[in-house]
Structure 1
Amino acid sequence: METLQLLTLNFKLYQKMKLLVLDNYDSFTYNLVQLVKKLGYGAKMDVYRNDKITLDAVEEYDNILLSPGPGVPSEAGIMPDLIKRYAPTKKIFGVCLGHQAIAEAFGGSLLNLPEPVHGVATPIRVSSNNEPIFRGLPHEFKAARYHSWVVVPKSFPHELEVTAVDADGQIMALRHREYNVKGVQFHPESILTEHGETMMRTWLKGSITPKKSWI
């Protein structure tokens, strides 16, 4: 009886929770979407490009996944305004460009790297015990990187906390100290990233109940 009640509760929660993937015109968005589906969280997921959905329309979603993309956050449609408007009330996870957009939204700045980092896996070191997506993982792991910009440590906002860095001290992950908002500079959806699926599953588990848990 208790199992049936739990399944019913999970089903009701699943029906209510909606996930928005904001596509920043990047091919890696497809990989993120496929990973979400693989992990069993795709039934209530919608994908919109960053200039094909209004800020008001975002209101109906509970959780938001900000995709990688070209350029800088200011060129990514509604993304900067979305973060500023919905950070206090929605669960947000930014990947690569999405991560950079979170930093900028709270007053951070970006630095254009002298040499872009594209298609390589480098060591990432967890620097905080406060980030759930890293719990249970090794203190250091390799992750795939495809970026030309990084968040500047010297101008890092007090509202945010650095949760992972690379060997040079560049910021590879962050979280908001009060809101349920976080970002990673690397690509968890890439096969080059160790424990990437685990990180995504941890974030999704805190967002919506997977379909496979109640069927």
Structure 2
Amino acid sequence: MVESIKSGVLALEDGSVFRGVGFGANKTVVGEAVFNTSMTGYQEILTDPSYFGQIVTMTTPQIGNYGVTKEDEESDGPKVQGFVVRDISPVVSNWRSQQSLPDYLRENDIPGLSGIDTRALTKKIRVHGALKACLSTEDITDEEAVQRARDWKGLVGVDYVKEVTTKEVFEWKDGPEPFTVPGTNLHPPALKRKRYKVVAFDMGAKRNIFRKLTLHGFDVTVVPADTDAQTVRDLNPAGVFVSNGPGDPAAVTYAHETIRELIPEYPMFGICMGHQIIAHAMGASTMKLKFGHRGGNQPVKNIETGVVSITAQNHGFAATKENLEACGAVVTEYNLNDQTVAGLRHKDLPVFSVQYHPEAAPGPHDSDPLFDHFYDLVAQKAAE
């Protein structure tokens, strides 16, 4: 529960100002104002490294009612710049809860704002696009907040991956333990498979990605984003995975070069930022979307199978279709809301990627079979 009422403000570069009630840390931050349409999973959203540099607004009106638990963190703490909600729940009611959301944000030095018209804010972002913003729970004027928003450099051309990637190579060991299906005494069939080693590039990965890879038959070695190709070869993996991450994919040129070297050598699977990096590595390009796709209810159609999946997404950039087709890629999936590229595969090699988050934390599980598909590609290559 919020201990005391304090004023807070969200100001946008176009001069719009939203005054409300501050919670969390006493702080002033700048970032890109975006919105997420998920109805649950606010803690996973807060701790998703892909949100580094962004001020996230939840479109669901009441947030915080089930509290916070460390087990649900997708990284080592919140990565958002700030957090905006219509109503912060005054009651925390869940048997797993360890603390309230305001306490959690205050402990992690993240400011929040409640009591504003998030519907109006979301509509503004949809009409005008993602905007530079300033969120403050300190005593600053509206004019100062607007100026700080305008002075922020923005996301385009900025490499935020280097801010969130692991600093050293490590073996993923974080369960689930024991390896059983939750609520049963059954072991997932994938755990009885022959296991293969994969190298996972951490561009800002969520923990559930590594859990999913583990559950589907892989032993995961996580490496920093700037790891070179020879270091990967020396680890002797059977496949390569490229994770999600924040910022402009065009700015991560060192990763483009490494992945370009590795594409002919290993089966490869990329998601979100990883998808965009694979596109760049193949010689294609990416573009900034007007307001991006963020939420657990994004429809995607695979044009090769005809299957429509509801997916979890969090990105502000997309691969450019025309460039991809000229570079030897086959576009396999499209976002049904705006027809942007949502999936690709190499026309000749066991390499594929998707623009969404099949690890689904939070989100639907329609895309879970993609991990099985990656396993099959790795197994087939190993058998050659």
Please indicate, yes or no, whether the TM-score normalized by the shorter chain is above 0.5.
Answer: yes
Instruction: Report the alpha carbon displacement of residue 112 of structure 1 after superposing the two structures with TM.
Output: 0.5
How far apart are residue 76 of structure 1 and its match? 3.7
Partner Cα distance (1:166, 1:79) in 2: 25
Q: Which shifted more, 155-164 or 141-150?
A: 155-164
Q: Does 1:54 align with 2:190?
A: no
Structure 1 unaligned regions, length at least 5: 1-9, 130-137, 210-215
- 1:110 aligns to what? 286
Q: Does 1:32 align with 2:209?
A: yes
Corresponding residue for residue 198 of structure 1: 369
Whether the 8 Å contact between 1:73 and 1:79 is mirrored in structure 2 is no
Query: Is the counterpart of residue 97 in structure 1 residue 267 in structure 2?
Result: no
Q: Secondary structure at the match of 2:275?
A: helix
* Structure 2 Cα separation of the partners of residues 81 and 202 of structure 1: 25
**2:198 is the alignment partner of 1:19:** yes
- Summarize the Cα distance change of 1:205–1:178 in structure 2 as closer, same or farther, 3 Å threshold: closer
Alpha-carbon separation, structure 2, partners of 1:154 and 1:54: 29
Residues 200 and 242, structure 2, Cα contact 8 Å, conserved in 1: yes
In the TM superposition, what are the counterparts of 1:58-137 in structure 2 within 5 Å? 58-59=232-233, 60-76=236-252, 78-129=254-305
Whole-Å Cα distance in 1 between the matches of residues 257 and 315 of structure 2?
22
Is the CA contact 2:228–2:258 (under 8 Å) kept in the aligned structure 1? Answer: no
Report SS of the residue matched to 1:56. Answer: helix
Unmatched 5+ stretches in structure 2: 1-192
Query: Residue by residue, what CA displacement relative to the aligned partner does 1:105-126 show, whole Å, maximum 9, x if unpaired?
Result: 1221111111122223211111
Q: What is the deviation of 1:157?
A: 3.3
Kept after mapping to 2: 8 A contact 1:106/1:157:
no
Check conservation: 1:103, 1:157, Cα contact below 8 A.
no
Aligned partner of 2:348 in structure 1 is 178
Alpha-carbon shift at residue 172 of structure 1 (Å):
0.3
Q: Residue 122 of structure 1 contacts residue 143 of structure 1 at CA under 8 Å; is this kept in 2?
A: yes
Aligned partner of 2:312 among 144, 147, 151: 144
Asked if the contact 2:199/2:223 (under 8 Å) is kept, the reply is: yes
Give the CA deviation at 1:181.
1.0
Deviation (angstroms), 1:177: 0.3
Q: 1:148 to 1:173 in 2, by over 3 A?
A: same
Identity %: 23
**C-alpha RMSD of matched pairs (Å):** 2.1
Conserved 8 A contact 2:197-2:218: no
- Whether the 8 Å CA contact 1:23–1:66 is kept in 2: the answer is yes
**Residue in structure 2 matched with residue 163 of structure 1 by the alignment:** 332
- 1:169 Cα shift? 1.3
Q: How many residues align?
A: 183
3-state SS of 1:196 partner: coil
Structure of greater Rg: 2
Aligned-residue offset at 1:77: 6.8
Q: Output the CA distance in 1 between the equivalents of 2:329 and 2:340.
A: 15
Q: TM-score, normalised by structure 1?
A: 0.77
1:212 is aligned to none
Which of 311, 316, 322 lines up with 1:154 in the alignment?
322
**Per-residue CA shift, 1:112-148, capped at 9, x if unaligned?**
111122223211111124xxxxxxxx71110111000
The question of whether the paired residues in 2 share the 8 Å contact of 1:63 and 1:207 is answered with yes
Structure-2 separation of matches of 1:77 and 1:46: 22
Q: Provide the secondary structure at the position in 2 that maps to 1:64.
A: strand
